[in-house]
Amino acid sequence: MSDAIVWEDEIPTLFIGDSLVIRLLFRYRTTVLLGNPDRELECYWRHGQSLFPEWPGFNPSRNRPSQELLKFLENAKAKRAKC
């Protein structure tokens, strides 16, 4: 989803409407995890935090760069490139 890392519990069980908004949140967070936040998407992230602050995707433990997540992304991209 938007070349992003997504935890299973972050996808709403009832989702009505355009998925673009949540894709923007996922993509912004992934750029943060990669250590290069996309400033053009940051306003969506902040707005989302104000509207639904309890969303699991805003959990601080999921919003910090980590070697484990970087390795996961690299492996996923490598697998996709082989398709």
Residue 13: band (very low, low, confident or very high) from pLDDT cuts 50, 70, 90:
confident
Q: Which domain holds residue 53?
A: 14-82
Instruction: Give, in order, the Cα–Cα distances in Å from 34 to each of 19, 29, 52, 64, 81.
Output: 23, 9, 24, 9, 19
Judge whether 9 lies within some domain. Answer: no
Judge whether 42 lies within some domain. Answer: yes
Take residue 70 and report the two structure tokens written for it.
Answer: 């970087």
Count of structural domains, the chain: 1
Dihedral angle over CA of 66, 5, 62, 41, nearest 10: 100
Judge whether 75 lies within some domain. Answer: yes
The predicted-structure confidence for 24-74, as pLDDT tens digits, reads as follows 999 999 999 888 999 999 999 999 999 999 999 999 989 988 888 888 888
Please tell me the pTM assigned to this model: 0.78
